[in-house]
Amino acid sequence: MQITFLGTSSGVPTRSRNVSSVALRLPQRAEFWLFDCGEGTQHQLLRSDLKISQLTRIFITHLHGDHIFGLMGLLATAGLAGNPTRIDIYGPPGLNEYLRACERYSYTHLSYPLKVHTVQPGFIYEDEEFTVSCGPLKHRVTAFGYRVVEKDRPGRFNVEKAAQLGIPSGPIYGKLKRGEQVTLPDGRQINGADLCGQTEIGRKIAYCTDTVYCDGAVELAQDADVLIHEATFAHQDAQLAFDRLHSTSTMAAQTALGASARHLIMTHFSPRYAPGNDIQLNDLLAEARSIFPSTEMAYDFLTYEVARRR
């Protein structure tokens, strides 16, 4: 699992940072999922190693422009260039109406099936490998954060040991690999768990933006391997954060600490902290690390490999 940041600015793009979008690449499936889609996201994809044809799911946190203005352009390009089989989009109420209006008034015809799912708190997607859930955040409009959980997998199956025990290969191996108990033709009972290595614990990722500090974000980030959290303002500008219902660097760190997350990556920075100003982004990083040391600051095209726990 790889996380690629395609836009890390808040509100408006800057020369070095586009507006919000994060890609989660699933190499074993040759696909990626997108979280938010600010204006210019398709241009950022073209500058990355990601292929638009491999986009299968998009998760939208809320309907502010810096999180959705790139959506219709990306969907249109996907049909013209990427030719996807299907794209599923998840987001708050109003998202479907917004997209249908964009289609209608721009005379855009998508050449592939597009399904928009209006989300509510709880589980919103599950397959054989992953579950995705969402929860409410605290912003000026309805906003949701997302949590992606990879399911645990049995450890490596010991083929050599199975052969030594005289277990015939075939469908029985599949059951044993899943940790099931199997009765052999000779009456012996074999516990698959005894033939598998240590269980591989699934990885967990939480994505929380836009929001002021809230219990909902802590819940989504519980025990996460990586928490991606907005840090629009410095601690000194906390009143602005409360007024606009955004987070400071210290709020992001407190969320990670309260959730017992393993790693925090901050994003969605106000352009006010550009080089040359009194407060700069390195100051926000220092503030966060004083509370939660395992913190880093995202930048456009940063790619982060989510490692398995050992």
Residues marked as catalytic: 66
Helix (H/G/I), strand (E/B), else coil: 239: helix
Helix (H/G/I), strand (E/B), else coil: 57: strand
- Pairwise CA distance, residues 159 & 251, whole Å: 49
The pair of structure tokens assigned to 283 is: 């100051």
* First-last CA distance in the chain: 16
- Packing angle of the helix pair 249-259, 281-289 (nearest 10 deg): 30
The pair of structure tokens assigned to 85 is: 């089989």
- Pairwise CA distance, residues 164 & 258, whole Å: 49
Distances in Å between the alpha carbon of 202 and those of 78, 129, 276? 30, 9, 43
